[in-house]
Amino acid sequence: MSILEENINRTELSQIGEFGLIDHLTKNVELKNDSSVKGIGDDCAVLDYSHKQTLVTKDLLIEGVHFDLTYAPLRHLGYKAAVVNFSDVVAMNGHPKQLIVGLGASNRFSVEALEEIYAGIYLACEKYGVDVVGGDTVSSSAGLVISITCIGEAKKADLVFRDTAKKGDLIFVSGNLGAAYMGLLVLEREKQAFKADPNLQPDLSGHDYILSRQLKPEARIDVLDMLKNAGVKPTSMIDLSDGLASDLLHLCEKSKLGCSIYEDKLPIDFTTAAMAQEFNIEPAIAALNGGEDYELLFTVSQKDYEKLKEVKEITVIGHMTEEAAGRNLISQSGSQITLRAQGWDAFLKNDGKL
């Protein structure tokens, strides 16, 4: 469902009010986790993590800044809003357990539209075993605003931070890179074509994979299981929300190290590469700077390489160096190029161009 679609059964928010809306959207919530003692229905949720560490993260998504309702289905938007928070918890080597939803909506949104957003949130929570334990809804004069707080857990010994990489550690990445950015470019291209001719139908055929990576990402909790089964704990980790270059530089800065990664080692899906060529973009540029892949970028001690070399879904792309060596990409020709943060930054101009 798109906000632009007509709904003959539209229910205005004013018909049921704030508390009626909250009750309507949360009436079927059932708690699944033992740590969720008390959920929706009181002044606060009550959580009990016993002897585990509590992880808390928050993402704020604003219409026109983080998403475009011209092409983002509301159910997909709700799913993505939840998953990007799960991904932050996973990047700490933890597991998401509870979610709190804040929603600001203007009167151009119907009850049915907000139901679609919540349906996406609930779908993500069902898949990842997360409880919705609270939230708030308010009127907004600035379009749609979604604020998600995710709470997770981890054993103290399992936690992984950004500032604990060591010189010589191998740099790994899960999955493949650049697909979400190429999906965004396709959607923006079709949006511009639609604006020029509203009678023109968007041409999205053959782009299912890159569109799904943009509109419905997944948190790589499966990678945590792979690492655990291999008996390996990363020395540092971050999720790839802002682009490989930007997020790798975060690891370097926090750990006070340099790095060398290799262009020919970057995992890029063939559909991503083909679309990059269509847009006259080097696939490596999309992989380095595109953002929103929500893969895991992590470092591992060299002594653990043998345990991981047969593990699918992860790729060695380089190694950490002393800080004085710089932070570099080694091109396919052997040239050394200084890495720069050119991915997403919420307070800089981000126009979809690299």
Domains of the chain: 13-158 (3.30.1330.10), 170-338 (3.90.650.10)
Can you tell me which residue has the tokens 């380089």?
318
Is 62 a residue whose pLDDT tops 60?
yes
Q: What is the mean pLDDT of residues 256-269?
A: 98
Is 330 a residue whose pLDDT tops 80?
yes
Contact between 211 and 68 under an 8 Å Cβ cutoff? The reply is: no
Is 90 a residue whose pLDDT tops 60?
yes
Instruction: Give the C-alpha distances (Å, rounded to integers) separating 89 from 50, 126, 188.
Output: 18, 17, 30
| Least-confidence region, from 38-47, 92-101, 208-217 | 38-47
**Can you tell me the distance from the alpha carbon of 223 to that of 140, in angstroms, rounded to the nearest whole number?**
38
Q: Give 8's pLDDT tier (boundaries 50, 70, 90).
A: low
Q: Give 17's pLDDT tier (boundaries 50, 70, 90).
A: low
Is 197 a residue whose pLDDT tops 70?
yes
pLDDT tens track for 137-187 = 888 887 899 999 999 999 999 999 999 999 999 999 999 999 999 999 999
Instruction: Give the C-alpha distances (Å, rounded to integers) separating 262 from 48, 228, 336.
Output: 45, 26, 9
Q: Give 6's pLDDT tier (boundaries 50, 70, 90).
A: very low
Contact between 64 and 143 under an 8 Å Cβ cutoff? The reply is: yes
Q: Give 190's pLDDT tier (boundaries 50, 70, 90).
A: very high
Chain mean pLDDT for the chain = 90
Is 105 a residue whose pLDDT tops 60?
yes
Is 18 a residue whose pLDDT tops 90?
no
Q: Give 346's pLDDT tier (boundaries 50, 70, 90).
A: very low
What are the structure tokens assigned to 185, written together? Answer: 């470019």
User: What integer pLDDT is reported at residue 2 of this predicted model?
Assistant: 47
Q: Give Cβ neighbours of residue 245 (< 8 Å, ≥ 6 apart).
A: 288, 289, 329, 339, 340, 341, 342, 343
pLDDT tens track for 214-252 = 999 999 999 999 999 999 999 999 999 999 999 999 999
**Can you tell me the distance from the alpha carbon of 135 to that of 100, in angstroms, rounded to the nearest whole number?**
5
Count Cβ atoms below 10 Å from residue 53 Cβ, excluding itself. Answer: 15
Task: Using alpha carbons, select from 102, 222, 86 the residue that is nearest to residue 150.
Answer: 86
Is 326 a residue whose pLDDT tops 70?
yes
User: What integer pLDDT is reported at residue 25 of this predicted model?
Assistant: 63
**Can you tell me the distance from the alpha carbon of 314 to that of 227, in angstroms, rounded to the nearest whole number?**
10
Is 3 a residue whose pLDDT tops 70?
no
Transcribe 161-184 into DSSP letters: -SS---TTPEEEEES-SSHHHHHH
Neighbour-count burial for 135-174, b at 16+ CB within 10 Å, e otherwise: bebeebeebbbbbbbbbbbbeeebebbbebbeeebbbbbb
Q: What is the mean pLDDT of residues 285-308?
A: 96
pLDDT tens track for 108-129 = 899 999 999 999 999 999 999 9
Cα radius of gyration (the chain): 21
Contact between 170 and 237 under an 8 Å Cβ cutoff? The reply is: no
Contact between 53 and 159 under an 8 Å Cβ cutoff? The reply is: yes
**Can you tell me the distance from the alpha carbon of 292 to that of 281, in angstroms, rounded to the nearest whole number?**
17
Contact between 233 and 166 under an 8 Å Cβ cutoff? The reply is: no
HEC readout, 184-241: HHHHHHHHHHHHHCCCCCCCCCCCHHHHHHHHCCCCCHHHHHHHHHHCCCCCEEEECC
What percent of the chain lies above the pLDDT cut of 70?
A: 90
DSSP, collapsed to helix, strand or coil, labels residue 89 as helix
Count Cβ atoms below 10 Å from residue 266 Cβ, excluding itself. Answer: 21
